[in-house]
Amino acid sequence: MSTNGLKRVIIEPVTRVEGHGKVSILLDEANRVKQARLHIVEFRGFERFIQGRPFWEVPVLVQRLCGICPVSHHLAAAKAMDHIVGGENLTPTAEKMRRLMHYGQIFQSHALHFFHLVSPDLLFGFDADPAIRNVIGVAAKFPELAVQGVMMRKYGQEIIKATAGKKIHGTGAIPGGINKNLSLAERDVFLKDFDQMLTWSRGAVKIARDYTVEHLQELAPFGSFDSNHLSLVRTDGAMDLYDGNLRAIDAAGKKIFDQVDPREYLKYIAEEVRPWSYMKFPFIRSLGPRDGWYRVGPLARVNACDFIDTPEAEAARKEFMAVTNGKPNNITMAYHWARMIELLHAIEKIGALLHDKDLQGADLVVTGERREEGIGLIEAPRGTLFHHYRVNRNDQVTMANLIVSTTNNNEPMNRAVEKVARDHLSGVEITEGLLNRVEVAIRAYDPCLSCATHALGRMPLKVELFDHEGRLLDSRSR
């Protein structure tokens, strides 16, 4: 497996959910890292799958794209279909029900990621034995944190169930609105546990903050690089995870564009195809593919917004931004702190919504002028999610274009892997330490790879080492 005398080191995680995905590290003759690439299999065949289907089925169908964030696809598709039915100006009840669903999704997703996926790295260290550096290890040594993660995840999932109808094939959001409101009985269940969730969220922010600040010297260079950042923001510049206009800033905080109507996204965002990857590489048109790539997700959102409109998350944001003197934070591992600030924001939003009587309203759907094109953007847990459809006069979908959050972070994840490889690869052996660090760097982006199939019998993580003539030198799996 050689290319012009270069050696390729392949880290191939073929896990139960991902199905496909690998890291390949290309060495030069002096065994220095020449290039590192993260290969992820993106969903395939969705456009064909959905063509010809009635547009009103789409918000349900798209949930099957991803077992991790079905709600994000559900809502982005519903927002796109709002335009098809001329119902983008939702009733207060419809918009607030959707927001509650979305904040529930953000809350459970961020909690799960932090407590059960990231906390082993933070609590045990990057070099800890994988036998303990996992959720079971956390349960054994820090059971109270593990319980918090379970119960916070459950709380968010129950909000989704109450607003979307069910966990699989949720039907809550429909073109032009929502199909149910929140009963007082349902509301009271969530109010009962709210204070506990808020308390635990504050604690999570503190853990992430303390860890980042205490290890700043070590974390600052880890898989880090300057980048542009992209997210939706409200018209007044506030963070808005459900709706808003597009803003892009550079690594120093200068605006590249601002308040771009999501329906104009194709004028500002393009995607590059590279022959070695199934996944495309989005970039800002005005900067081109070389300089126009950007990050999305919690780090980008906290960097890009002017403020957060909930008091405790805003105080946390100010503290976060102070670390980099008010400039955008480009430290990859700062994603975790930013993610917990959003967790706190989400539970604050949930609290406010639960006290809003509009959730018990009966005016659920609006329609207006019929259109043949719809675009819906949302800030999914992992970053900006784009859904774009065309529909014919027979109500059938004729075109679908999706840019998922993980695709937006494709180039940054590749850069993070390459940075880690350059800093930590020694010789031509994939050490446990290197493998751990590659995982930690990718995990910071919380990539969503579950578009692949999902069944028993998939292989575990596999690592292969080839010499410059393609001979397998070493193979490790765990």
Partner 1 sequence: MNPGGARILLIGYGNPGRLDDGLGPALAAAVERLALPGVTVDADYQLTVEHAASVADNDVVVFADADVVGAEPFSLRRIDPDPEPVVSFSSHSAEPHQILALAHRLFGARTRGYVLAIRGYAFDEFGEGLSDGARANLTAALRFIEPHLRERSFCGVGAEQGDRTRSRIAPSIGDEP
**131: contact with partner 1 by CB under 8 A:** yes
Q: In this structure, are residues 38 and 442 in contact, taking their beta carbons and an 8 Å threshold?
A: yes
Nearer to partner 1, 130 or 351 (CB): 130
- State the burial class of residue 144 (Cβ atoms within 10 Å of its Cβ: 0-12, 13-18, 19+): exposed
- The stretch near partner 1 (CB under 8 A) out of 123-131, 180-188, 341-349, 397-405 is 123-131
Q: Which is nearer to partner 1, 304 or 333 (CB)?
A: 333
**Contact at 8 Å (CB) between 320 and 337?**
yes
- What single DSSP character describes residue 239? B
Closer residue to partner 1 (CB): 86 or 130:
130
Q: Which residues contact 421 (CB under 8 A, 6 or more apart)?
A: 25, 33, 36, 434, 438
How far apart CA 441 and CA 25 sit, in angstroms, is 15
Q: Provide, rounded to whole angstroms, the least separation between the CB of residue 105 and partner 1.
A: 12
Encoded one letter per residue, x for contact with partner 1 by CB under 8 A and - for no contact, window 95-114 reads -------------xx--xx-
Task: Pick the binder of partner 1 from 1, 65, 284, 353 (CB under 8 A).
Answer: 65
Q: Kindly state whether residue 147 participates in binding partner 1, applying the rule CB under 8 A.
A: yes
E-only strand ranges, 325-413: 373-380, 383-391, 397-403
Least CB distance to partner 1 at residue 265 (A): 24
**Which residue, 109 or 329, is less far from partner 1 as judged by CB?**
109
Under the binding rule (CB under 8 A), the answer on residue 279 touching partner 1 is no
Run of H or E residues at 294: strand 294-295
Q: Between 64 and 202, name the residue whose CB sits nearer to partner 1.
A: 64
Q: How far is the CB of 68 from partner 1 (least distance, A)?
A: 5
- The verdict on 46 binding partner 1 (CB under 8 A) reads yes
- 358: tokens are 């509009």
Q: Is 399 in the site for partner 1 (CB under 8 A)?
A: no
Measured CA to CA, the distance from residue 438 to residue 319 in angstroms comes to 28
For residue 465, give both structure tokens.
Answer: 């080492």
- Residues between 412 and 471 with contacts to partner 1, criterion CB under 8 A: 439, 442-443, 446-450, 453-458, 460-461
User: Does position 149 bind partner 1 by CB under 8 A?
Assistant: yes
Question: How distant is the alpha carbon of residue 326 from its chain centre?
Answer: 24
Binding segment toward partner 1, per CB under 8 A, in 13-21, 79-87, 173-181, 289-297: 13-21
Query: What one-character-per-residue DSSP string does 158-178 give?
Result: HHHHHHHSSSSS---EETTEE
Of residues 6, 139, 365, 366, which one binds partner 1 by CB under 8 A?
A: 139
Member of 7, 116, 301, 415 binding partner 1 (CB under 8 A): 116
Who contacts 439 (Cβ-Cβ below 8 Å, separation ≥6)?
Answer: none
List 157, 181, 408, 414, residue binding partner 1 (CB under 8 A): 157
223 binds partner 1 (CB under 8 A): no
Residues pairing with 271 in the sheet: 282
- Closest CB 151 distance from partner 1, rounded Å: 7
Shortest Å, Cβ 150 to partner 1: 5
Q: Which listed range, 98-106, 133-141, 274-282, 352-360, lies at the site for partner 1 (CB under 8 A)?
A: 133-141
Binding mask 162-201 for partner 1 (x = CB under 8 A): -----xxx--------------------------------
Exposure string (b/e) for 180-202, b if CB count within 10 Å is 16 or more? bbbeeebbebbeeebeebbebbe
390 vs 184: CA distance, rounded Å: 38
Helices (H), 13-142: 46-50, 58-61, 70-84, 92-112, 119-124, 135-141
Nearest to 217 by CA among 323, 316, 120, 295: 323
Using the contact rule CB under 8 A, the part of the chain among 46-54, 75-83, 353-361, 372-380 near partner 1 is 46-54
Task: Provide the binding-site residues for partner 1, judged by CB under 8 A.
Answer: 13, 15-18, 21, 43-46, 48-49, 61, 63-68, 70, 108-109, 112-113, 116-117, 120, 129-131, 134-137, 139-140, 143, 146-147, 149-151, 153-154, 157, 167-169, 439, 442-443, 446-450, 453-458, 460-461, 478
